[in-house]
Structure 1
Amino acid sequence: MRAKKLFISIITFFSGLKLAHKLMIIYSMVIGITIIVFAGQLINETNKSTELDLIRDSRDLLKETKYSIEREVDTCYRTINAISGDYDTMSYIKGWDREDQTEVVDFSMELTKRILLIRNLSPDIYQIRIYVSNPEFPEIGSIIYSDSRLKNKKTIVTETMKYSHGYWQFDHPEVNFNPGTLERKNVVSLFVPLRYSNYKQLGFIETSMYTDTFFRHMFSQSENQNLIAFIIDYRGKVIYDSKSAFAKKYNLDGNGLTELYKGYDLKGQSTEIHIKKGRVPMTLISDYIETLDATICYVVTNDTIRKNLNDARTLIIAESILAMILMSVIIYILTNLLLVKIKQIIASMRKVEDGKLDARVNVSGQDEMSELAFHFNRMISKIGDLISEVVKKQEAKKNAEIHALFTQINSHFIINTLQNISMMAEIDSKYELADAINSLGKLLRYSMKWTKEYVRLKEEIEYIGNYILLMNIRYDYEIRLNIQIPPELMEYEVLKMMLQPAVENAIYYGIEPLGQNGEITIRGYSDEENISIEIIDNGMGM
């Protein structure tokens, strides 16, 4: 009900506006709504397209990151194979004789050279160590150590027995056996059993890289506020870049990242899931690295882009409103210019309303307004001509009425005079003359009394009888009138003076040339649709 009242109020208000204001409002609304709708659709489509592009780019980054990690894994395995495949090194460790200490220095120098060569060929390798199970084997520099130094030896033994590819330890603090080294960085280490042919296990080989080197590609995204990459190892530990702008922006740590994919099984498959951090929608894409038994994940969001697009939409709407206001002013001015002739026509119509029929509108141009002004001028001219014609007709009618009045007065005078003469004739016993004068009076009264076009047939026959009576005075012979009309037809209306011309022709052309008594018969009869009247004379014929 309120909506209906509001709608009626708006319509009433709009109806009361001038045409220029109506056009301005309509144009402004059409332009404004079009711009706003177009801007909204453009922003929404851009948002969708940007989100799809961001996910597609993130998938490409994930593939590149996975490839980078697999390349570092391959480097670690090649490094270990280069050492474990060296016959001299393996045979020396296997066949080491405690009593022979002379070859230790030479062995150490040769082994150091090999390690340096390997590290030069693979600069990403941070550390290469050999842990020997023989407790009596001497520790050589920073390369060969006793396996008793391994704090997690049991775990390493268990894992290397379980997995043929060795034991991977991710993002753990560097174990430095040099007490003078103060800096400690997190590294990724690979432990592989050290065997010589089919001989029993001689110990372990460890190769390690710095975590940010091993996951170089993943850590290179730290400045990106729209995504973060992290690794989930086989134990469920999350490895990520703590310096990530994304992590700082959304206050995420290892536990926070774990909460994002809580309830989803990411292991062993490539996935894409839609998640939320608070009210911020995100997309998590992942892939499995079989060699490491780990899952690499990317979490992406276009929240920043969406905010930028929303800001852009707000700016577009604000600019649209300003443009709409400017367009409204321009449209108002142009509309007033276009409506100048209409205003002139309205002013001229008001002059005509006041009786000034000489008002005209200046016609210039060939547009619709000029055509309207031209036809307005023609209409006013036509109205003036019609008024003049009506005035002339009314004047003519008035003159005719006055003339008819005079004629009526004269006819009354003549008829009254004839009646007086008839009375004088009767006084003098001139009855035939009196009858003739009475017939003439009746004839004149009937012909002068023209109040209507149609009269009863009875009145028309009576008029013909008076006319025949006067004609008998004129001729020496008698003209008889024979009426054969049923009484019921006498009340029908016929055209006044319809029979007189035919009767007159019958006398002049039929009976008068005969020169003797004649007879005129008026016969009337009717069928189902028409009434027929016949006038017959017994004269010479035409």
Structure 2
Amino acid sequence: MNLKKIKEAANLLERLSMQQKLIALYIIIIIIPIIIFTSIYFRNVYDRSIDEISIKSENALEIEKIHIKNNIETMRRTAQMVVSDFEFIDFIKSRNEANIDQLIDFRMNELSNVTRLQTNNPAIENIRLYTTNPYITEMWPILFKEERIMQKPWREEVINRNGMEVWWFDQQTDDVLERLPSQNTAKISLLRELDYPKDEHLGIIEINMFLKNFFPKMFGTVQDPDSVYVVIDKDNNMIRNFYHTYFEDEGIDPEDLKLKFNKSKHEGTGSFQFENNETPYLVITAYIDDLDAYLLNVISLEGLYAETSKTRNVIFIGIIFLVIILSFVTYVLVSLLLKKMYKLKDSMKRVEQGDFSVDVEIDGKDEISELAFHFKSLLGKMNGLIAEAVNKQATAKETELKALKTQIDSHFLYNTLENIKMMAEIEGQYAISDAVTSLGEMMRYNLKWKNDFVVLDEELNYIKNYVDIMNLRLDGLLTLKIDVPHELHDHEVLKMSLQPIMENAIKHGIIPKHQKNEGILQVNARCSEDYIIIEINDNGVGMTKEECELLNLSIQTGAGNQNLSSKGGNGIGIHNVNERIQLYYGTEYGVFVTSEKGEFTMVTVKLPCKIMRGGSRSV
């Protein structure tokens, strides 16, 4: 019986229109969540409110961390600028007692420069350097003897850190000259050992800042009565604003808070809850890695209960009103949405029937309108591709005619070169005859360009002819050595992919170095798994490591492409060779250069293993 009712309901659903289905689905989607929502809402409101407080507090902590990091960087930068002031440091490390003129010059120049660092950073309270150099005279407020800080608890730790920075919190500020009593003003200090020569203690640099400037939230004039900020350092000491009586008003024991924190602390941002006098508290923690300390925001949740009760009543009334409004709005929107969809469906049917001139006019910014826009763009691209195909056919015919004309012209050139060759042989000018033969083969190779692919053997013959012609110009300077296994001669390579590399090696590698000495060009090839490696090596001027890295970057990215093209003999350039290889075969293949200044340059070409069986393709 139940199965029969399910089938009837399914049949009824199938008979409904799309609009009726959407409205029914919308009502179901609204009603079911309302039932679930009313049963669990009041249980989850409290948790969600805590989450909101946590997010707000975490954001506030992040902002505070940004201020803290800015202050840290300011102090670090100031310390580094002091250390980097070589004239100042040279005076400090001097082992000769300075005369009056030197002291005055130092105070007016180097010491004034350091003093200006403090003046230009108002948040920094003091910049001090405590030195062990007995020849140095104390100069307030920067330069002091290290014996003044012998009893400081941080001195031994700073020395043991071997130049690494140490951050130290002080709840009170002492007068280094011991003229004034200690002030109840907390501060933080950046401490670094100064050693010269290496591992020889020269002194300690101290950069300090008042905590009211370093922790603006904690010591701000406007305090949230329901929360407080504190810091727990690496030694488990709590640093807080004692003028803020939050702990006293709430009756919280700081030591008890530290115990609860130590049980739940971890690096990064975290949180935990605890109760004190039946009042719940939320604590958000953030780790400050530079200080190896934690920033805590302690928040009272006492006022949350009253707000939850008020929110519950408002939301319950709002949900009922919202369902009524949304039901009406949904009905209107669904009607408009489906109207656009039906219009788009009719346009698609016309395209399916072969009418590519359909003009889809659907305005709006919703998904259906966006789909209509992309469909219209697709139609435009289809029409463009059809027109492009027609143009390509016409261009192909025109190219065939031009190729025929070129072939006729090339026959004239070949016959002329053959006559010149015969005349040279008759006259006994065999060097000229060989050069004309090489030139004729190169021209035949260039002019008969019907395919972008040739076998490796043909590309090697081409560079042989090229080297022969260059030797005619260079009085036999060049020696070409080819070590390519016979089984690789039928492998596929891109036409004119090796000649630009060879030309670049001769013009910019061998000629500037050898002049009248022999220049050696070595071509090697080997097959490794599913790719072939071709190496063109010359014993030319070579390049430095930096120049080689810049050249490889230019080859891959095209930066400085004009310069590369100028180095290629025929204007194609190594970058263009690499670009052609990656265009035809993929980015895992291409050209890479290694070199050593004054020794060699080797260009490595990586290609896929493809055997052109049955002989070479038409060139």
Sort the TM-score into its range (normalised by shorter chain): 0.3 to 0.5
Compute the TM-score of the two structures, normalised by the length of structure 1: 0.46
Compute the TM-score of the two structures, normalised by the length of structure 2: 0.41
Bigger Rg, which one = 1
